[in-house]
Amino acid sequence: MQIRALMYFDELVRTNSMRQAAENLNVAPTAISRQIENLEYHFGAPLVERSARGVKLTAAGELLAARAGRTLRELDHVGQLIEDLKGLQRGRVSIYANGATVANLLAPALAEFSLKYPKLRFEVAITSARQAIEAVNGAEADIAVTLFAPPLSGTKVRLRSEIAYDLIVAPTHPAADRAEIQLKDIAEYSLALPDQSFSFRQAFDARIEKEGLNVEPVFVTSSLEMLKELVLSDAAVTLLPALTVRREIEAGQLRAIPLAGKNAIRTYVDLCVAPDRQLAFAATKLVDFIERFMRERADARPRAKD
């Protein structure tokens, strides 16, 4: 059985179309069909059923599809490691991250790192925290950088940086000049919060219940961008780590008001890798760099312009 046959089958599974798979691989559709037939001969079972609507995997095809992608990714990873043995400082790193970590943490870290290692290439997928962790577990990603991550097993947390949540408001908001704020005072404002799938929201709801408060958000969303836009327009306030809106704070567009004393709510930014997978040169260098970058940023609180 040839690797090419697995590659063609994996692309067919991804596109669900002989024609589209052929276009993506820059080969004739007959080449795809021939390689699928070779696989079916090798395994002694039909893998796909063809119809006018495309292709449908058989039970045997489903079994192969579940493993073919990971097998190809592992082979590609071995290729990276072999290149490292040759002393070639080049390679490609796959990073999955959820949106809250990107603009003010991952993007500047990658920008600085790429200047030091210009021969390296990066593939960055923006997903939910859960999908990022699952991508590392499934060998789709070398690294995951997550905020609001749910508790999932299978990954190694290389660095966990504790993050405090502040009340984020527009500069014109009545609370904008306060040095700190109590949770009970937040109930007076139009509040926008992440939905219950976020670990912060779960921690917030637990704290509100413990304090015996009644806080009903006006807006609930899974989008960090929507939370920011609602606050920028002064339609609501929200609770976020200051680092996620660092740029807006430093530009004077938003203010971050710390929660007072016992009211503080904290979660973590996690830098994750697979526990049983040796990282290639490029990924190893990048993980080390992001870890240092996160440590340096941990205590650096953004300040608005005077």
> Per-residue pLDDT averaged across 55-69, rounded?
82
Domain chopping of the chain, boundaries: 3-83, 94-306
**pTM given for the model:** 0.61
The sign of the CA dihedral 108, 109, 112, 115 is: negative
> Per-residue pLDDT averaged across 229-245, rounded?
91
Residue 193 has pLDDT above 90, yes or no: yes
Lowest mean pLDDT among 5-14, 75-84, 97-106: 75-84
State how far the alpha carbon of 81 is from the alpha carbons of 84, 123, 143, 207, 266, in Å.
5, 18, 16, 47, 38
**Cα separation, 98 vs 131, whole angstroms:** 8
Residue 118 has pLDDT above 70, yes or no: yes
> 3-83: which CATH number, 3.40.640.10, 1.10.3720.10, 1.10.10.10, 3.20.20.140?
1.10.10.10
> 94-306: which CATH number, 3.50.50.60, 3.40.50.300, 3.40.190.290, 3.90.226.10?
3.40.190.290
> Per-residue pLDDT averaged across 158-175, rounded?
90
DSSP of 28-75: -HHHHHHHHHHHHHHHTS--EEEETTEEEE-HHHHHHHHHHHHHHHHH
CB 236 within 8 A of CB 193: no
Q: Token digits for 274?
A: 């697979």
Residue 167 has pLDDT above 90, yes or no: yes
Taking alpha carbons only, the member of 166, 125, 164, 165 closest to residue 146 is 125
Residue 104 has pLDDT above 80, yes or no: no
Taking alpha carbons only, the member of 230, 237, 268 closest to residue 255 is 237
